Copies of this chain bind each other. A is one copy, B any other.
Amino acid sequence: MSKNRPNVTSRDVAKRAGVSQASVSRAFTPGGIISDAKKARILAAADELKYVPNSIASSLITARTNTVALIIGDTGNPFYVHVLRAFISALQKRGQQVLTFTIDTGSTTDDAIRRVLQYRVDAVILTAAQVSTSMLALCQEQAIPIILFNRYIPGESVPVVRCDNAAGGRIMADVLRGAGARSFALLKGDPRGTTSADRAQGFLDRLYENDIKEAAVDQIECGSTYDGARQAVERVYVNQGRALPDAVFGVNDVMAMAAIDVLRFGLGKLIPDDIMVAGFDSIPESARAPYQLTTLLQPIDTMVADTLALLDESLAASDVAAFSAEKIIPSQLIWRKTVPGAEPRLTDTLP
C-alpha cells in the first residue's frame, strides 16, 4: 500500500487562510479558543490543501493521547447501549476519542485492559464488566485512572460512579408491599454484577424487615437478559406450574418486560389486575404501550457527567493510584401502569 501523505504543514494552511500558525493549531485543538468564522476559514484552507495534523506524533510530546477506553460488558441489556451512546457523545463533545471494547458474557476484562494499556490511553471507563485486582494494579502502576461505572469492587479504592441500587431495591419492596403484594418473584441478574446483586439484596432486606417471610419470595436466576428471564419465568410458572405470586420485581427492565410478555401472552394474565410487575432502569422501551412499566430511573446523563468529572479529577491527581472517590446517585420512581393504585409518597414509607 502506498501511503503518500502530502507534505503540507500548518505553515501552508496559515498562509492560505491568512492567519497565524498558532490560529491553525487552535482550530485543530478541541475546545481551542477561536471564533467560528476563523475556524471555518482555516478548516476550509486545510481541506483544500489536504492538511491533517498528526495527533499521534503530538501525543508522544504531550504524553497524552486524548483517548479514553470504554470497556463495556453486558450489551444484552439495552440500558448499557444507552450508556455507551451517552459516553461516546459526551467524550466527543469534549474533544476526546473513544476506544471501545466489548466483553463477551463470561469473559473478564483482563485481555481488553492488557490491550488498552498497550495503546496508551489517558483513562479507562469500565461498565457492566468484571475486572481483576491484578489488572487494576497494572493500570495503577501505569498511572492510568480506571473509573468504574455502576460497578464497584469490594475492598478496592477505585473511583466509582453508581446508582444507589440497594436503596432502589428497598423502594420497590415498599412500592409493591404498599400496593398489597404479600408474595413475590424476584428476577435476579448476573450474580457477578454488584448492580444486580445490590438491587436484589435491598429488595429482600426491606421485605424481611417487614412482615414478609423468605418462603414468600421466589428467587429466580435470569442472567440479566430478556431471553434469560423469559425462559426462567416460563420454566417456573408455565412448565412447572408453580402458583403465581402477587408481584414480580425484575432487577432490570428487560427482565420485567420478559415477565410481562410471558404472563400476558403465555398465561393470559392481566397486568396489574392479576399480577403486578416492576422493573429498574427506565429504558425508553419500558415506556411503550405493551409495557407501561412502573420502574426506577437511573439518570444516565447525570451519571455520565459525574463519571467524566471524576475522570478529570483522577487525571489531575498527583498520585493516580491513591485517588479514590465514590459518587452515588439516587434512582427515581417512574410511576406507570404495572402496579395498581396511586403513586405512593415514598417519604412516608422509607426509613
Contacts and interface: CB of A to CB of B under 8 A. Distances in A.
User: How many copies of this chain are found per oligomer?
Assistant: 2
Interface in A221-254: 226
A289 B264 contact: yes
A88 B100 contact: yes
A55 B317 CA distance: 25
A132 to B, nearest CB: 10
A97 interface: yes
A327 interface: no
Interface in A84-100: 84-85, 88-89, 92, 97-100
Contacts of A300: none
Interface stretch (A17-25, A113-121, A196-204): A113-121
A164 to B, nearest CB: 27
Contacts of A317: 1
Contact of A134 (B47, B63, B141, B284): B47
Interface string A56-89: 1101100101010010000100100100110011
A131 to B, nearest CB: 14
Interface string A1-23: 11111100000000000000000
Given A97-B99, A104-B89, A55 B143 contact: no
Give 4 closest A-B pairs by Cβ, nearest first.
A265-B289, A290-B290, A261-B289, A50-B141
Interface of A: 1-6, 28, 43, 47, 50, 52-57, 59-60, 63, 65, 67, 70, 75, 78, 81, 84-85, 88-89, 92, 97-102, 104, 112, 114-115, 117-120, 134, 138, 141-143, 226, 261-262, 264-266, 284-285, 288-290, 315-320
Given A56-B59, A261-B288, 18 more contacts: A1-B320, A2-B143, A2-B319, A3-B143, A52-B118, A54-B118, A56-B120, A78-B78, A85-B102, A88-B101, A97-B119, A98-B101, A99-B99, A99-B100, A226-B288, A261-B290, A285-B285, A290-B290
30 contacts: A1-B315, A1-B316, A1-B318, A1-B320, A3-B63, A4-B143, A5-B141, A6-B141, A28-B118, A47-B134, A52-B118, A52-B138, A52-B142, A54-B118, A55-B120, A56-B60, A56-B119, A56-B120, A60-B60, A67-B99, A70-B100, A85-B102, A88-B100, A92-B101, A97-B119, A99-B99, A261-B290, A262-B289, A265-B290, A285-B285
